Amino acid sequence: MRSLFDPVQAGDLNLPNRVVMAPLTRNRAPNAVPTPLMAEYYAQRASAGLLITEATAISAQGQGYADVPGLYATDQLDGWKRVTEAVHEEQGRIVVQLWHVGRVSHIELQPDRQKPVAPSAITAKTKTYLIKDGVGSFVATSEPRALDAEEIPGIVHDYRHAARHAVSTAGFDGIEVHGANGYLLDQFLKTGANKRTDDYGGSMENRARLLLEVMRAVVGEVGGGRTGLRISPVTPANDIHDDNPQPLFEYVVRQLAPLGLAYLHIIEGATGGPREIADRPFDYTALRKAYRAAGGTGAWMVNNNYDKALAEEAIAHGADLVAFGKLFIANPDLVERMRTNAPLNAPDKSTFYGGGAQGYTDYPALA
């Protein structure tokens, strides 16, 4: 019987166990530059089968929160290089999650205080995070503008450029494209945010076009075996929804199958909330079957409020990897704690976003 602690192959990634550290925004990268403290944080957690970094902007336009890292300038690449070296010294494996927030931003975070961009000029009824005079607060997002069709190839280029330098310059083992949680690629996918009438709107094939163009571009740069994708079919995060997500996402995974991806990362239910949403039913087993039937070989990663028992059940029923979020915040040695059934540290929610070492690198490991 398969175990959570068995090694597993995910594309070109040879992972020592099936426990994944999920991407966790922590707002500790001033001026979008990764710090030595971040290197310590990730290295502490290197016993995970795979580390996925916090979401990392592909461009200045892609930024949506204060003090989140980027991957589009030399000092950012240098900062991430220190992170990957620290993780590799601990025999860990780490991929970077590439991010463009789209409309989930604020003019204070945009170049020249321009409006954030989106598929359509529809303001997201959600909040972002700003820091002023050293104090962080959540504020309503700004009104976006719709991207012109002529601008879209530039977005694809930014993903391609970030992926290339993430691997070749910063030393990451691979890439995860963030296609979930109501950010730009998810905005294009879903009817609640995409009202376009051109080749990137209307039919599900058109709405999926940008995501698939990005995935093909990233795979073309770093190879499918080093590329993953995160999706969230029914989450309401960041004011996102789709009228008919089941056929949409089954179409998406069938199109992804020929790319030979390392993994697909599926958020089940509402991100950070209930795993089942009464008014948004979704058949994840059917989604996986659609992917496999189309020839998809990537590891199947599940995520959302998993504990050890639920994770073991998921592995027994066909999942290949399980991503854990908040548990990794407070337990740098989560794999060993779960392996030995040791008690878990409780996370301090007041230190989740912003700050320094407190609530970040000071959680104790087992003696």
Instruction: Note whether residue 362 is domain-resident.
Output: no
Q: Is 90 exceeded by the pLDDT of residue 172? A: yes
Instruction: Note whether residue 143 is domain-resident.
Output: yes
Is residue 69 helix, strand or coil?
coil
Q: How far apart are the C-alpha atoms of 24 and 21, rounded to whole Å?
A: 8
Q: Is 90 exceeded by the pLDDT of residue 81? A: yes
Per-residue pLDDT band at 66 (split at 50, 70, 90)? very high
Residues 6+ apart with CB under 8 A from 133: none
* DSSP state, residue 65: S
C-beta of residue 351 within 8 angstroms of C-beta of residue 127: no
HSE (side-chain half, CA atoms, 13 Å) at 198: 12
C-beta of residue 42 within 8 angstroms of C-beta of residue 81: no
Strand 299-303 relative to strand 263-267, pairing: parallel
* DSSP state, residue 70: B
Is residue 330 helix, strand or coil?
helix
pLDDT, mean of residues 103-123: 98
Residue range of the domain that includes 254: 8-324
Helical (H) or strand (E) element with 285: helix 284-293
Instruction: Note whether residue 344 is domain-resident.
Output: no
* pLDDT (tens digit per residue) in 31-42: 999 999 999 999
Instruction: Note whether residue 2 is domain-resident.
Output: no
Q: Is 90 exceeded by the pLDDT of residue 135? A: no
Q: What percent of the chain has pLDDT over 70?
A: 100
Domain count, the chain: 1
The CATH number for 91's domain is: 3.20.20.70
Q: Which of 54, 102, 110, 101 is nearest to 79 (CA)?
A: 54
Tokens (6 digits) for 237: 């995060």
Residues 6+ apart with CB under 8 A from 69: 29, 32, 33, 34, 38, 53, 54, 56, 57, 76, 79, 80
Q: What's the pLDDT at 342?
A: 98
Q: Is 80 exceeded by the pLDDT of residue 367? A: no
Q: What's the pLDDT at 1?
A: 80
Q: What's the pLDDT at 136?
A: 87
Instruction: Note whether residue 1 is domain-resident.
Output: no
Instruction: Note whether residue 337 is domain-resident.
Output: no
Per-residue pLDDT band at 214 (split at 50, 70, 90)? very high
Enzyme catalytic residues: 183
Tokens (6 digits) for 272: 């950070």
C-beta of residue 224 within 8 angstroms of C-beta of residue 13: no
pLDDT, mean of residues 274-284: 93
Instruction: Note whether residue 357 is domain-resident.
Output: no
* Bridge partners for 96 per DSSP: 175
Per-residue pLDDT band at 124 (split at 50, 70, 90)? very high
Q: How far is CA 159 from CA 59, 152, 162, 212, 229, in A?
A: 9, 11, 5, 12, 13
Instruction: Note whether residue 203 is domain-resident.
Output: yes
Phi (first) and psi of residue 335, to 5 degrees: -60, -50
Q: What's the pLDDT at 134?
A: 82
C-beta of residue 229 within 8 angstroms of C-beta of residue 176: yes
C-beta of residue 215 within 8 angstroms of C-beta of residue 263: no
Is residue 86 helix, strand or coil?
helix
Q: Is 80 exceeded by the pLDDT of residue 141? A: yes
Per-residue pLDDT band at 353 (split at 50, 70, 90)? very high
pLDDT, mean of residues 255-278: 96
Phi-psi group of 238: left, alpha or beta (phi > 0 → left; psi -120 to 50 → alpha; rest → beta): left
C-beta of residue 191 within 8 angstroms of C-beta of residue 220: no
Is residue 207 helix, strand or coil?
helix
Q: Is 90 exceeded by the pLDDT of residue 94? A: yes
Q: What's the pLDDT at 240?
A: 98
pLDDT, mean of residues 321-333: 98
Q: What is the largest CA-CA distance in the chain?
A: 60
Average pLDDT for the chain: 97
